[in-house]
Structure 1
Amino acid sequence: MKIFRTHEYLNAFTGIMAAILISSFLGSSAYSGEKNSESDAGWVDLFNGKDLTGWRIAEGGPWEVKDGTIVVSGKRSHLFTEKEFKNFEFKADVMTTPGSNSGIFFHSKFQEEGWPTQGYESQVNVTHKDPVKTGSIYNRVKLFKTPAKDNEWWTQHIIVKGRNVVIKINGETVIDYTEPEGAKGSPSLGEKGSFALQAHDPKSVVYYKNIRVKPLAD
C-alpha cells in the first residue's frame, strides 16, 4: 500500500479544486447545448447557441456567434427573429463593455435599412454617452440610472400583456408602463411583431445569450 505524504495530499486536492473551478466557469459562460431549464414551464429558446438559425440580419452585420453567445459589434445593424409574438415573457442574459450601446426591440418588423420604426426598444446601455440607460423604453419611458453593470451578466426580462409593458433587470422591476389607447406613430406597440437585437456603433461591443420567450394567451 502506497503511503501519501502531506504535500501529495495537498497537490491532489489542489488539482481537483482547479478542475472544479474550470468546469464551473465554462458551464456559466458557454451554451451547454441542452434545453433551457425553463423550457418545461413553457419557455422556448430563440437562440440555439451555435448559429443564427431563426434570425434575419439587416444591413449586413457583422454578427458573430462565439462560445454560446451572440457578439454584437460594428456599424449599425439589426438582427430580427423570423417569428412574431403578441403577448409574452422574454428573457435574455446581456453583458455590455464600457461605453457600449445596444437595444432589444419587440413588436418590431423586419426592415432592411435604418433604425426600426415599428415596436418598442428596451434600451441596453450602462455607460454610453446617451443618458437613457438599460431598461428604458426608448422615446417612451426614460431611466437615467440602471441596476445593470458593465462587464457583468444581467437578465433583461420583458413582459407584454395587451398594452402593458413590464421590464425587469435581474428581477427588479424598472418599468411598468401601459400604452394609452389609440397610440400611434413611432414608437408604439402595434398588434404583434418580431424581436430584434441592435448593433449601434463601431465602438460598442455587447453580448447576448440564453435568449428565450414564453408566449402568453391573448
Structure 2
Amino acid sequence: MKQLLASIAVVAICSLGWAADPANQKEEGFVQLFDGKSLNGWKINENPESWTVKDGEIIGKGKRSHLFYMGDDKPFKNFELRVDVKTEANSNGGIYFHTKYQDEGWPKYGFEAQVNNSHGDYKRTGSLYDVVNVVETHVPDNQWYTETVIVKGNKIIVKINDKALFEYAEPKDLKPGEQFTRKIDQGTFALQAHDPGSTVHFKNIRVKRLD
C-alpha cells in the first residue's frame, strides 16, 4: 500500500511539471535575480518597450535595448550564473557580465555570452563574443536550454546544458579595449534585446558568488 501511494505521489508531481522544470529544482547556494513577475531590481536603458514580463519570463523583442541587474550594491566578481533561455527563429541576444549600466549603446564594459542559434551572425550561442567565438549550433530554436557562465580568477567557462564549451584563461598582460573592454574585472549582469526581428525569452536567472 505504501509503495502504491508513493507511486501515485510521483505521478502527481510529474503531471504538474515540477520534476521537469529546472526552476523548481533546488540549487544550493544560488540566489534568484528575477522574481518571475516584474522587473524589480532591473533597469532598462534605451527603448523600454523592447522588454515585457509574461508567464514568468523576461522577453526581449524590439529595438536595441539592454536590461541591467541593479538589485545588489556589491559587484559580482567570481560567480556562477545560470540563465534559462529560449530563442525564436532568426533571433539574436546576449547575457552580459562584469558590465555596468550605461544609458544607450552596446555595453562597453565586460563580456557578452552570446545567445544566437540561427541569426545571421555566425557567432553562435555560448560564444564569449569576439574573445572565443563558437561557430557550432548546440541548441535549437524554440527549446529551453540553460546557459551557464563561471568566472573564477582569470578563467571563464561557458556551458550549455551543463556541457562546457571552453575554458578561457585571460593573459596576464591583456589591456582593456577602447570600444569594448572584454577584460575580467567585476560588475553586474545585463540581458540584450538585439533588434526588432529577434525574440529571446529568459527565465530562472540565478547566481552563486564564488568569492
TM beyond 0.5: yes
List per-residue Cα deviations over 1:124-156 (Å, max 9, x = no partner).
000000000000010111111131110100000
Whether 1:69 and 2:69 are equivalent positions in the alignment is no
Structure 2: which 5+ residue stretches go unaligned?
1-10
1:163 CA drift (Å):
1.5
Q: 1:203 aligns with which of 193, 197, 203?
A: 197
| Bigger radius of gyration among the two | 1
Q: Residues of 1 paired with 2:42 and 2:173: CA distance?
A: 31
Residue of structure 2 equivalent to 1:4: none
Aligned runs of 1:126-145 on 2, under 5 Å? 126-145=117-136
Percent same amino acid at aligned positions? 48
1:190 CA drift (Å):
4.1
1:93 CA drift (Å):
0.5
Q: Residues of 2 paired with 1:175 and 1:110: CA distance?
A: 28
Aligned to 1:152, the other structure's residue is in SS state coil
Residue of structure 2 equivalent to 1:24: 17
Residue of structure 2 equivalent to 1:150: 141
TM-score by length of 1: 0.83
TM-score by length of 2: 0.85
**Any runs of at least 4 consecutive aligned residues in structure 1 with deviations exceeding 4 A, and if so which?**
none
Aligned residues: 194
Letter in 2 for 1:42: G
1:175 CA drift (Å):
2.0
1:210 CA drift (Å):
0.5
Q: Return 139-148 or 180-189, whichever deviates more.
A: 180-189
Q: 1:80 aligns with which of 43, 49, 68?
A: 68
1:59 CA drift (Å):
0.3
Aligned runs of 1:142-181 on 2, under 5 Å? 142-181=133-172
Q: Residues of 1 paired with 2:182 and 2:17: CA distance?
A: 42
Q: 2:43 aligns with which of 9, 31, 56?
A: 56
Whether 1:91 and 2:85 are equivalent positions in the alignment is no
Letter in 2 for 1:175: F
Structure 1: which 5+ residue stretches go unaligned?
1-16
The alignment yields a C-alpha RMSD, in angstroms, of 2.2
